[in-house]
């Protein structure tokens, strides 16, 4: 995991800073997410019904796919020197491009758009994130993801 300062961070702005490993989205993951979020819509959880849809089977919730960014980002952590804490700061844009069929493999691809010091020791990063579906032309989603880091 690399750390950066005010000068060295400039060298990676606008570049790809990480690609995660592939992760298989299982029916069990989808079912657990449906239970936790109280969103048991049958296109996600009813395998037999979902076979008769245009998707040919169950699909993951879009919000499940979005939530995977947190785990995928460990391949793309861009840390400021002296970091004491990092937080998810939100999203400026999220688009769900293609459905994620259960059994698909996903990975996250991260480009660092900006990293700005908003206050002394308080850094906001913007990542362009793409969640790719293995073997598919279109990604599952694209997002502008914001992070906040506090550094000494």
* Token pair for 19: 């690609």
The 10s digit of each residue's pLDDT in 10-65 is: 999 999 999 999 999 999 999 999 999 999 999 999 999 999 999 999 999 999 99
| Angstrom distances, CA of residue 47 to CA of 27, 42, 53, 103, 131 | 9, 8, 10, 12, 24
Per-residue pLDDT at 2? 79
Per-residue pLDDT at 27? 98
CATH number at residue 139: 3.10.129.10
Q: In this model, does residue 1 exceed pLDDT 80?
A: no
Q: Which domain holds residue 87?
A: 3-151
Residues near 8 by Cβ (< 8 Å), separated by ≥ 6? none
Selected residue with higher pLDDT from 91 and 3 = 91
Per-residue pLDDT at 120? 94
The 10s digit of each residue's pLDDT in 14-25 is: 999 999 999 999
Counting the structural domains of the chain, the total is: 1
User: What is the radius of gyration, based on Cα positions, of the chain?
Assistant: 17
The 10s digit of each residue's pLDDT in 95-113 is: 999 999 999 999 999 999 9
Average model confidence (pLDDT) for the chain?
96
């Amino acid at each position: 995991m690399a750390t950066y300062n005010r000068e060295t961070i400039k060298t990676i702005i606008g570049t790809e800073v990480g690609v995660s490993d592939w992760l298989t989205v299982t029916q069990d993951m989808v079912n657990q997410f449906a239970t936790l979020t109280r969103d048991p819509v049958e296109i996600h959880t009813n395998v037999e019904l979902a076979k008769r849809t245009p998707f040919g089977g169950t699909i993951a919730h879009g919000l499940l796919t979005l939530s995977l960014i947190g785990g995928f980002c460990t391949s793309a952590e861009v840390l400021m020197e002296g970091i004491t804490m990092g937080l998810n700061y939100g999203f400026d844009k999220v688009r769900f491009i293609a459905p994620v069929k259960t059994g698909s493999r996903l990975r996250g691809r991260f480009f660092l758009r900006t990293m700005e010091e908003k206050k002394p020791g308080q850094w906001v990063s913007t990542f362009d994130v793409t969640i790719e579906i293995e073997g598919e032309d279109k990604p599952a989603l694209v997002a502008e993801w914001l992070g906040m880091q506090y550094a000494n």
